[in-house]
């Protein structure tokens, strides 16, 4: 079985390909097919996959190490690496056995999808017909399956699995940062979805055989941890680049190199502290959550979900602050496209607005702390 070290070596092997493709991903606003295939070839799409189908069901913190390594090469490629593997495919554990067999018939699949807003849905014999699009289909250009949000008067909210070749992908992804993720609108045009390929977004109580392990009972939190792992990678890269920059740059109209200026030292140290605190916080929350579901044989407790939500919201916010501090260190180099700092700043400040870890989620965590209900769907699993 592949270990973390083996997979990290595999990432290092494809590093030249990812570095070559990264500017193209940014320019084309999607991960290129070559970069996506390199991830497949390196075994990245086996990490969260069920052992039943040849996957590793790896510990969350091990996956986070691998995703951070990819993120240190390119944040958008890393985003696709976890989102199309640990984000959407594990939801197939909710399918009946017939559906699981169909989805995994050709091997471990990559998927893109969301749970809202629902597409127009009609009930037909044996299933449903769906029409419309939804936003934020990260990686939808390269995947095997799409998971589309659906709703009907007879079934309030549910999701359907369709083959990507039968879906619709629009070109709507124009953003400040994370431009290469391809998180564009996607959907269906009068596509038939059989009943056995639909699921309801409820806690996992009757998983398909071989899909009842801790990772599936943690869903979707491993993927949400992946989101902020990319933020950690970007912020860590920013700090590393700033250290090198400080050793070389003497600002205009000054005689002292940056590394000897106390204000630069202050902001650099603060940025590094925020990155380390972020990584430590999400790793500890991930470890505690995994231990809980592994030992209990159940889904996550309210306390575990509170801790995870606070951890990812803190880490996203702290990493964005870290890149702001780095910009204070490097001065006008932060605004030059020839330097890497503006990219790190854009990407971390885009991730901090993602619904799963934005400041609004502090409110939802506090509601749970106070014994109140929240309508944030991913705290209901």
Q: Using one digit for the tens of pLDDT, what is the confidence trace for 160-201?
A: 999 999 999 999 999 999 999 999 999 999 999 999 999 999
Among residues 379, 352, 357, the alpha carbon closest in space to that of 368 is found at 379
Considering the chain, tell me which residue range(s) the CATH 2.40.110.10 domain(s) occupy.
Answer: 109-199
Residue 2 is predicted with a pLDDT of: 84
Place of tokens 């030292």: 265
Choose the CATH number for 109-199 among 3.40.50.300, 3.40.50.2300, 2.40.110.10, 3.40.1780.10. 2.40.110.10
Residue 312 is predicted with a pLDDT of: 98
In whole angstroms, give the CA distance from residue 142 to residue 112: 9
* Residue 66: HSE in the Cβ half-sphere, 13 Å Cα cutoff: 32
Q: CA dist 270 to 276, 277, 280, Å? A: 10, 10, 15
pLDDT under 50 in the chain at which residues? Answer: none
Superfamily of structural domain 220-379? Butyryl-CoA Dehydrogenase, subunit A, domain 3 (1.20.140.10)
Question: How many of the other CB atoms lie within 10 Å of CB of 188?
Answer: 24
Tell me the CATH number for domain 4-91: 1.10.540.10
Among residues 254, 273, 258, the alpha carbon closest in space to that of 334 is found at 258
Considering the chain, tell me which residue range(s) the CATH 1.20.140.10 domain(s) occupy.
Answer: 220-379
In whole angstroms, give the CA distance from residue 186 to residue 133: 5
Which neighbouring-strand residues pair with 152?
Answer: 155
Cβ atoms of 329 and 264 within 8 Å: the answer is yes
Write the CB contacts of 155 (distance below 8 Å, at least 6 apart in sequence): 200
Cβ atoms of 223 and 273 within 8 Å: the answer is no
- For residue 87, the 8-state DSSP code is I
Residue 29 is predicted with a pLDDT of: 98
> Rounded to 5 degrees, what are φ and ψ at 16?
-60, -40
Residue 1 is predicted with a pLDDT of: 66
């Amino acid at each position: 079985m592949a270990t973390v070290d083996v997979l990290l070596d595999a990432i290092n092997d494809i590093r030249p390909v990812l570095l070559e493709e990264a500017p193209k991903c940014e320019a084309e606003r999607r991960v290129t097919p070559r970069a996506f295939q390199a991830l497949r070839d390196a075994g990245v799409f086996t990490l969260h996959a069920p052992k039943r189908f040849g996957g590793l069901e790896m510990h969350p913190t091990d996956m986070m190490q691998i995703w951070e390594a990819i993120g240190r090469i390119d944040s958008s490629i890393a985003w696709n690496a976890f989102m199309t593997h640990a984000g959407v495919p594990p939801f197939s554990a909710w399918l009946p056995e017939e559906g699981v067999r169909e989805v995994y018939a050709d091997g471990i699949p990559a998927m893109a999808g969301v749970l809202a807003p629902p597409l127009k849905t009609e009930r037909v014999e044996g299933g449903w017909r769906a029409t419309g699009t939804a936003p934020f289909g990260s990686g939808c250009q390269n995947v095997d399956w799409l998971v589309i949000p659906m709703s009907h008067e007879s079934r309030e909210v549910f999701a359907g699995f369709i083959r990507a070749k039968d879906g619709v992908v629009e070109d709507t992804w124009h953003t400040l940062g994370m431009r290469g993720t391809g998180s564009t609108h996607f959907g269906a045009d009068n596509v038939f979805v059989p009943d056995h390929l639909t699921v309801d977004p409820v806690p996992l109580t009757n998983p398909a055989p071989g899909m009842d392990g801790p990772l599936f009972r943690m869903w979707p939190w491993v993927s949400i941890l992946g989101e902020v792992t990319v933020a950690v990678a970007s912020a860590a890269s920013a700090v590393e680049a700033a250290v090198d920059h400080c050793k070389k740059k003497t600002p205009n109209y000054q005689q002292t190199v940056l590394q000897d200026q106390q204000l630069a030292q202050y902001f650099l140290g603060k940025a590094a502290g925020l990155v380390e605190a972020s990584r430590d916080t999400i790793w500890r929350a991930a470890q505690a959550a995994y231990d809980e579901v592994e030992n209990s044989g159940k889904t996550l407790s309210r306390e575990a979900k509170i801790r995870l939500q606070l951890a990812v919201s803190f880490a996203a916010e702290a990493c964005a602050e870290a890149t702001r501090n780095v910009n204070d260190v490097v001065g006008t180099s932060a605004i030059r496209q020839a330097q890497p700092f503006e990219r790190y700043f854009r990407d971390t400040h885009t991730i901090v607005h993602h619904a799963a870890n934005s400041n609004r989620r502090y409110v939802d965590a506090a509601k749970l702390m106070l014994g109140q209900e929240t309508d944030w769907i991913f705290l209901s699993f």
